[in-house]
A and B are shown apart, each in its own frame.
Chain A
């Protein structure tokens, strides 16, 4: 019975994130446009974009290898599986027992590895620039992410997100300095990983300043659709991760009444919308930083993660 309900929750959640991801990006874009006194496209525009791209033919460079063609599917699959591991509205996901927070980091890392390879595959200079910048950012973001994971795991006693969420939702945790540091570190990593301002600009047309966009400049048609969809999912994943670890209020714990699922889905949607609004606000109020400032930015995230972990070692009460 538990297995069946876990399967259902897992399936429901995998579908939910898939359906919600483009909407989240659409909402963020809409809010940004309104903040700039523009009308902006409909919040459903990302769905239309995906459909349009899926219907278009793929234009491939003559020297594109098999790697270039499989990468969109590999990255999309890896990100989707990673997203399936993050409890959104309910804990007790079926997959939780086989993969934890570290597995999420690994999955996203492999997705990026393939994308960086594909960026260099065709041999254009922009692809090379994009890949080198992306790997530079990743090399700094991943350690910061791992330290954040350690910090949370030390407090919650597990790296499994279902367990972490259950623990965080309980009354055992009060305000903790180390948790606050871990949260700020995770938000900084999330901005970098999702190619948002101030690290990258998702809306730029300037080839020379791009990071993520430069890498995928050669993609078109359904390949581009899969990569874009992957990027939408990744944004949702990170926001869900922040919500589930630091704000898991109203999340349904295994074995609760069916009605509580409705409440927790509502709460989740509300938290997503709030996060989207804050993201848009932050992006509007700040300029993009120089490429070589990114290490300092992510270095701060790393230090925060490290401090959080150390504080936790020094004293139980932090």
Chain B
């Protein structure tokens, strides 16, 4: 089996791509990389396009090496990765919708983001005019006696984002679930092209509202990598502080919301109070509840308020006092455990194949956290554990969140204790030659990948890959064999992003 380094050496190394190497390869190496991902040993981190080029980011599981291989496709065709490695399928369909590049040998050539309502086809590629196409989307068939379909969404009864779920059920048992997403496509990648770094940073912070810190962090790290600068130490530590606060708030909200979907509103109410404490502390410390637009390339837009550390400590002290009682309540309520234990089981082999990040992967035995590998400062000097479970059910995903809340509480303490005075940003020196940067950052859902090419002070091309790309397909697998009525619970335990993956 080839190692990543062999694949990279088979191609032509690209200059000025940081911090990991990028190589331009031929179709043969491209195909062997795809089959290496499929055979295990390598994980697909991302797959994205340019008008006549495709890129694939790969993690070598044995050596933790990361690399990007690129394939020029002047005839607008490239060998399909999904033909070997299914996790690439939706990414390939997206590349086709946005750039018009055709994946040769793809098992599924339906559109993904383009629902036939755009005025333009291939908006980032050759831009053909198109009239809206009202032909219905062909869902995958399921055949058998007594099967019936249930269509849910894209408009839901609650205040959640739009997505369509097509269930084929035999009575109450789900035989097949197919997702159709893309309803919140905003054209972020098109908007970023040719915008300034400041504009693009604001856009990156708006890709996914609940992960705004993580996205801004990923984007900023990628810009800093491309420009070969490092943000000051204080900025790096405050970024980590914000990232942990964001993780805390989201995990607390999720734990409550999962219980609420089992109609146990008590946990929801109490977790909501704790989440609100975190958000208010964030507002007092950084001037915004979700801490949007604080992380910028080069450092921070503003420093923490002078009483910020004390406010955060007080809020976290309250969480420390109340959270254990809530964990006991969760663990000791038999009716609730009856719902979460054993439902929506995700096979560890699938989690590994899809390189699922975050609590989805870690609840199914995939020990991966971008804070540790590839890792970034200050996590290399902080003490924290990465909880991993093997059960893969809703209960396991709740427990991963509970353990991560405890880890984040400890991390916030360490960060506040380790804060040093100093500058919070460095000016961006615009390099003359185009350069490329990449970053992988752990958001609360999992690893967010950012890749960009700078040309002067402008973004030439930027791609942001949400962790949900590799988690949504797993939800389809996890619900199989469960009952229709358990879907909301399983869905909430995955809590994938619509906005982040629709871009």
Contacts and interface: CB of A to CB of B under 8 A. Distances in A.
Interface string B477-488: 000000111111
A31 to B, nearest CB: 13
B148 A125 contact: yes
Interface bin, chain A: 20 to 34
B266 A204 contact: no
B373 interface: no
Nearest to A284: B266
B148 A209 contact: no
A234 B157 CA distance: 25
A2 interface: no
B269 A206 contact: no
Contacts of B488: 206, 208-209
Contacts of A284: 265-266
A206 B158 contact: yes
Interface centre among A125, A203, A287 (most CB of B within 10 A): A287
A215 to B, nearest CB: 14
A286 B264 contact: yes
A277 B270 CA distance: 21
A139 to B, nearest CB: 15
B157 A291 contact: no
B263 interface: yes
A36 B265 contact: yes
Interface string B287-306: 00000000000000000000
Contacts of A287: 259, 262-264, 333, 335-336, 338-339
B261 interface: yes
Interface string B333-351: 1011011000000000000
B1 interface: no
Interface string A287-302: 1111111000000000
Nearest to B157: A205
B484 A208 contact: yes
Contact of A286 (B148, B333, B483, B485): B333
Contact of A125 (B151, B172, B266, B338): B151
Contact of A36 (B150, B269, B336): B269
Nearest to B329: A285
Interface string B260-288: 01111110111001000000000000000
Interface string B460-492: 000000000000000000000001111110000
B156 interface: yes
B152 interface: yes
Contacts of B172: 291-292
B338 A206 contact: no
B158 A205 contact: yes
A290 B485 contact: yes
Contacts of B269: 36-38
A190 B90 CA distance: 48
A200 to B, nearest CB: 9
Nearest to A32: B265
Given A209-B485, A285-B266, A291-B485, A125 B150 contact: yes
A207 interface: yes
A207 B333 CA distance: 25
Interface string A190-215: 00000001100101111111000000
B250 to A, nearest CB: 20
A109 to B, nearest CB: 23
A129 interface: yes
A284 B267 CA distance: 10
Contacts of B273: 37
B272 to A, nearest CB: 9
Nearest to B267: A287
Interface of A: 32, 35-38, 125-126, 128-129, 197-198, 201, 203-209, 284-293
Given A37-B270, A125-B151, A205-B157, 19 more contacts: A35-B266, A36-B265, A36-B269, A128-B148, A129-B150, A206-B157, A207-B156, A208-B485, A285-B333, A286-B333, A288-B262, A288-B335, A288-B339, A290-B339, A290-B483, A290-B485, A291-B483, A292-B172, A292-B483
Interface of B: 148-152, 156-158, 172, 259, 261-266, 268-270, 273, 333, 335-336, 338-339, 483-488
